[in-house]
Structure 1
Amino acid sequence: MSAKLQVSHQGHDESDEDSDMPTNEHEHSGNDLESDIPSTKQRQNRGEVDEITITKSKAQETSLVKEVIGMVDTYDREADAKAEGIYAEQGSYASSYEDKPGKRNPKYGYKAEAGYGRARAEYSVFEAEARGPNAGVKAEASLTGVEAMARAEVFAAEGKAGPVAAKVGLGFDTGASVGVDGVEVKFLGTGVSIGPKMGVSVLGSEVSCSVM
């Protein structure tokens, strides 16, 4: 006895055909768009370094260069101390490179100053100075920058150790300087230093430090 096997095949309607068709459509949500934007870490991995980072790095390098020049210029400076009563001096000066303390950074300029009471001590990269009433002007150009400043002080005491400097006093310095460590502007003893060297001055007292 033979059996007939009937196989029924249902037809596809339009919806079935649509569902069988492959699709390449991809819906982007807000999150998808954000994910397409590379993160800072991804940009750095691909070699894309932020311009601000480059600028900051260069500024730190130039500041470091100046500090290295200054320390190389004075690292072998012998200990010295002196005190003066009434003093007055003026004149231009120029120093070319010599392998001696204080002469490894060529300088050219003019200075005039007068005052009453001045004491100074220095050794290697350390220095300190105290002054009584005084006034003066200074204009200088060197490998590390240019400066023009007029000074009038009632009193001042300052010290420096490498890249760190501090000053306490009452003064009215007015002028500006531009160099590898940034820009400094003062008016009547108050001003700021902006750049690798950061500092603030208020009526003759100031503190500053070069950013490494």
Structure 2
Amino acid sequence: MYKVFVNDVPIILSTQKKVGTRYSSYAIKHVDFDKLIKDILDKKIHYVNLYHKKDEKLLHHLKKKMKVITAAGGMVFNPKKEILFIHRKGRWDLPKGKVDKGESLEDAAIREVWEETGVENLKIVRFIDTTYHILKRNGKYKLKETYWYEMFSDFEGELVPETSEDIKKVKWKNFEKSQKAIHKSYENIKLLFPSEYLIKHPKDRIV
């Protein structure tokens, strides 16, 4: 199963025709994707399941329906176990960006983190996961496929936000502050964090 986000609304890609009574299910091979996204953005549909009996065909059919933008980024830790965040468009995010032609995913991830934050001495620890979200560029919907890596850096210099990319702030955040930042982040970013970081904010609690 995969999750593909339109804003913060997840589209589930699964091998099951029915995943719950709240979900509208469509065969991924035949769905009108432009209309589906419009209905999601117009809040006519809130839960979507796109299905195919073969798991390996799910992303195949999705990628046939729109151009794919490949990106890479990092969740960077320092010796204090703080995590590197950027603040852009009113939300906390992790640094990432488009992979250049001929560039490896790992090299792109390191380059993008450095460009967006100024952090040097970056070393990749492990691959975390791949996230998917849909955006609109030049009037057409595109699928952004982002490869994420856990990184480490002992950099203690100045953090420099890449203002040309609308980044307003760059901050190292400890565990507690990371929890608060994640609450003000994106749903696809939340997928990258262990469960202990995802404690619900008091405003989310049902009284």
TM range (shorter): under 0.3
Structure ID, larger Rg: 1
**Which structure carries more strand by proportion?**
1
TM-score (norm 2): 0.26
